[in-house]
Amino acid sequence: MDVVLLSTYELGHQPFGLASPAAWLREAGAKVSCLDLAVEELDESKVRAADLIAVYVPMHTATRLATPLTERLRKLNPDAHLCFYGLYAPVNEDFLRGLGAHTVIGGEFEEGLVVLAGRLAAGGRDGAVSATQREPLISLSRQRFLVPDRRSLPLLDKYAYLSLGDGQRRVVGYTEATRGCKHLCRHCPIVPVYNGRFRVVQQDVVLQDIDAQVAAGAQHITFGDPDFFNGPAHALAVVKALHERHPQLTYDVTIKVEHLIKQAEHLPVLRDTGCLFVTSAVESVDDRILTYFDKLHTREDFIRVVGLFREVGLGLNPTFVTFTPWTTPENYLDLLTVIAGQGLTENIAPIQYAIRLLIPRGSRLLELPEVTELVAEFDEPSLAYPWAHPDPRVDRLYEEVMEVVKQTMRAEATRPEAFAQVWRVAAAAYRESTGRSDVPLEPPAGPLGGNVPVPRLSEPWYCCAEPTEEQLTPSV
């Protein structure tokens, strides 16, 4: 059985979603090729030889990029069995089958891919296209993971790097200690698949995967768990053991504001074991919007977390969904005021100022009458429910902010410089909306000791957002 595993995009990481099933399939006797089209060209000879082509779609942008790719794959090898797997596969099942997918697998996909490959091998290549899916659309089985096999993936230095803010760079590896999430945030794409559950990747597997990446040159590891503190005992055991094995290795994780407060006593452990920064999906500082999102934290909780991180000496990477149906020029400027007042302009990637809410199939936001009355019919090309803000001035503000962000990124402006330009646009919109001139067109100064350059990845983290044209343009 000749299998090709394809990835189109995963935020600049070497894809765990290729390396993990590659190990499973190879152990089952399959010949496996991994192609990451974010950093390499499509190898047409491997596609033509494949019995099974499986495309990994862990996020919205990856799925959008896979759409035009599918036609090319089918022309190159019309006899291959085409599978889509990953978080965004089951919620877009009908669309993907319309593109020609024979099998769609979500959740814990490794076991399903092995069963599929075995079934196709038993039936022979002639029956590959006609084979009807028997594997579950969503599997939440408690798998015993294998150590990911990264041998046929591009080298780590082809991916996003860590900048330490002083000109130094570190090669970054990527792994996952858990999947899914025990929370039910309304805007989150994980919820329709995992529905409040998460699954653990065994500690020995995580550590051996990191060992292999360190041997391949990794100096920093990104843990891709949706929330590293879904299982705090497991998480802390992993990083303590990791630090013993590789005391010079640094890492970063993603954790909810709610968990950062509840598990605050563990923040020094993260710091002492090499954690440089924590990404946290703050989303908003407007409590009304946070309630719509069902985030289970408040504006004051976020400000408290900023203080905790300063006390502990950890970097904080807040992310936001800045443009929602409930955004106003007033509360947008309020967000910028909080960011400046807390001294966070160095912590926030400019793209975060222009994140527009994405509403995909299965979103719990569709439970809200305020949303269902606003959205148009599902748009298959964009894989989302289109929406326009009730106040056209807010959509205009979004477009102006996005243009500013693009310009500052092209000009390689510093984060504070980008913030200042966004502030000017937002202040002008506030003045137009309110008829008041009490807000200065220049941003306020941050607190003494704030706005110090912080470690950051060269590929900004974003989620629950409409992708930009740049993100939908392959880099190779």
Asked if residues 385 and 405 have their Cβ atoms less than 8 Å apart, the reply is no
3-state helix, strand, coil in the chain (%, to 5): 40, 15, 40
The overall pTM is greater than 0.75: yes
In percent, how much of the chain has pLDDT > 70?
A: 93
Residue 474 has pLDDT above 50, yes or no: no
The confidence score (pLDDT) of residue 152 equals: 92
Task: List CB contacts of 414: < 8 A, sequence separation 6 or more.
Answer: none
User: In whole angstroms, what is the distance from residue 113 CA to residue 180 CA?
Assistant: 19
Which has more confidence, 88 or 165? 88
Residue 165 has pLDDT above 90, yes or no: no
Domains contained in the chain, CATH given: 2-139 (3.40.50.280), 156-457 (3.80.30.20)
In percent, how much of the chain has pLDDT > 90?
A: 87
Residue 471 has pLDDT above 60, yes or no: no
As a whole number, mean pLDDT of residues 247-261 equals 97
Question: Per-residue pLDDT tens for 177-196?
Answer: 999 999 999 999 999 999 99
- Identify which of 93, 11, 9, 18 has the alpha carbon closest to the alpha carbon of residue 54: 18
What is the average pLDDT value for the chain, to the nearest integer?
Answer: 93
The confidence score (pLDDT) of residue 463 equals: 58
Query: Which tokens go with 12?
Result: 């600049």
Asked if residues 229 and 177 have their Cβ atoms less than 8 Å apart, the reply is no
As a whole number, mean pLDDT of residues 31-41 equals 97
Which has more confidence, 243 or 412? 243
Cβ-count burial of 147 within 10 angstroms (0-12 exposed, 13-18 middle, 19+ buried)? middle
DSSP string, 81-111: EEEEESTHHHHTHHHHHHHT-SEEEEES-HH
Asked if residues 200 and 234 have their Cβ atoms less than 8 Å apart, the reply is yes
Q: How confident is the model at residue 436 (pLDDT cuts 50, 70, 90)?
A: confident
CB count in 10 Å sphere of residue 132: 7
As a whole number, mean pLDDT of residues 402-416 equals 93
Residue 446 has pLDDT above 80, yes or no: no
The confidence score (pLDDT) of residue 167 equals: 78
- Helix or strand or coil: residue 300? helix
Q: How confident is the model at residue 476 (pLDDT cuts 50, 70, 90)?
A: very low
User: In whole angstroms, what is the distance from residue 116 CA to residue 131 CA?
Assistant: 10
Q: How confident is the model at residue 462 (pLDDT cuts 50, 70, 90)?
A: low
The confidence score (pLDDT) of residue 475 equals: 45
Query: Which tokens go with 38?
Result: 């974010």
As a whole number, mean pLDDT of residues 406-426 equals 94
User: In whole angstroms, what is the distance from residue 32 CA to residue 135 CA?
Assistant: 20
Q: How confident is the model at residue 133 (pLDDT cuts 50, 70, 90)?
A: confident
Q: Find the range with the poorest average confidence among 246-260, 333-347, 429-443.
A: 429-443
Residue 240 backbone phi and psi in degrees, to 5: -65, -45
Angle between the 392-410 and 415-434 helix axes, to the nearest 10 degrees?
Answer: 160
The confidence score (pLDDT) of residue 433 equals: 87
Question: Per-residue pLDDT tens for 11-28?
Answer: 899 999 999 999 999 999
The confidence score (pLDDT) of residue 125 equals: 55
Task: List CB contacts of 156: < 8 A, sequence separation 6 or more.
Answer: 14, 171, 172, 173, 213, 216, 217, 218
3-state secondary structure 388-411: CCCCHHHHHHHHHHHHHHHHHHHC
Which has more confidence, 446 or 122? 122
Cβ-count burial of 215 within 10 angstroms (0-12 exposed, 13-18 middle, 19+ buried)? exposed
The confidence score (pLDDT) of residue 155 equals: 97
